[in-house]
């Protein structure tokens, strides 16, 4: 190969490399996925946005949903104390919180970018049996 051909080949390779790396060639620049800048919001029963929920009986449930401006993916949900309150499903946009026993728990909802919304759960339960002995009249002694 003579010097002219070698120079032409190297020049073509340099142009092709430059075209590929400056996105003027055949490979378009990837479109960046926008990252949501806001914290997810939690919508409680009654269509109220909030960060705390009180439940007053074991097995009581509450439906909540999570939303975030600019984000369309699912949220991962996790309870800090599954003996107090559970959340299902583990991933999605709409969830059911179920009271298990008296106490407090925090449900964390996390998007795929690591943005987190936390819901404080307070569960109070009252239980017990009230018994009443049958009434039996007594005679009083005395005068």
- Shared domain for 119 and 65, answered yes or no, is yes
Binned at pLDDT 50, 70 and 90, residue 125 comes out as confident
Binned at pLDDT 50, 70 and 90, residue 88 comes out as very high
Per the structure, the count of domains in the chain is 2
- Shared domain for 54 and 84, answered yes or no, is yes
- Shared domain for 67 and 116, answered yes or no, is yes
Global pTM value: 0.65
Q: Residue 112: is its pLDDT beyond 70?
A: yes
- Shared domain for 86 and 24, answered yes or no, is no
Interval 127-139: pLDDT, tens: 655 556 666 566 6
CATH of residue 99: 2.60.40.1080
In a domain, 130, yes or no: no
Confidence (pLDDT) at 4: 59
101-109 long-range contacts, CB within 8 A, separation 24+: 101/58, 101/125, 105/79, 105/80, 105/81, 106/79, 106/80, 106/81, 107/77, 107/78, 107/79, 107/80, 108/77, 108/78, 108/80, 109/40, 109/42, 109/66, 109/75, 109/76, 109/77
C-alpha–C-alpha distance, residues 46 and 129, integer Å:
33
Confidence (pLDDT) at 139: 65
- Shared domain for 24 and 49, answered yes or no, is no
- Shared domain for 47 and 93, answered yes or no, is yes
Confidence (pLDDT) at 121: 97
For residue 67, the enclosing domain spans 41-123
Q: Residue 36: is its pLDDT beyond 70?
A: no
């Amino acid at each position: 190969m003579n010097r002219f051909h070698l120079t032409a080949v190297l020049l073509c390779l340099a142009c092709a490399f430059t075209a590929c790396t400056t996105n003027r060639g055949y490979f378009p620049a990837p479109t960046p996925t926008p990252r949501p800048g806001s914290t997810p919001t939690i919508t409680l029963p009654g269509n109220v946005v909030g960060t705390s929920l009180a439940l007053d009986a074991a097995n009581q449930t509450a439906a909540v949903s999570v939303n975030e401006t600019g984000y369309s993916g699912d949220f991962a949900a996790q309870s800090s104390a599954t003996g107090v309150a559970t959340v299902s499903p583990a991933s999605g946009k709409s969830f059911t919180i179920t009271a298990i026993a008296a106490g407090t728990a925090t449900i964390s909802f996390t998007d795929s970018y690591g943005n987190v919304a936390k819901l404080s759960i307070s569960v109070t339960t009252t239980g017990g049996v009230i018994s009443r002995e049958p009434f039996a009249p007594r005679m009083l002694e005395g005068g």
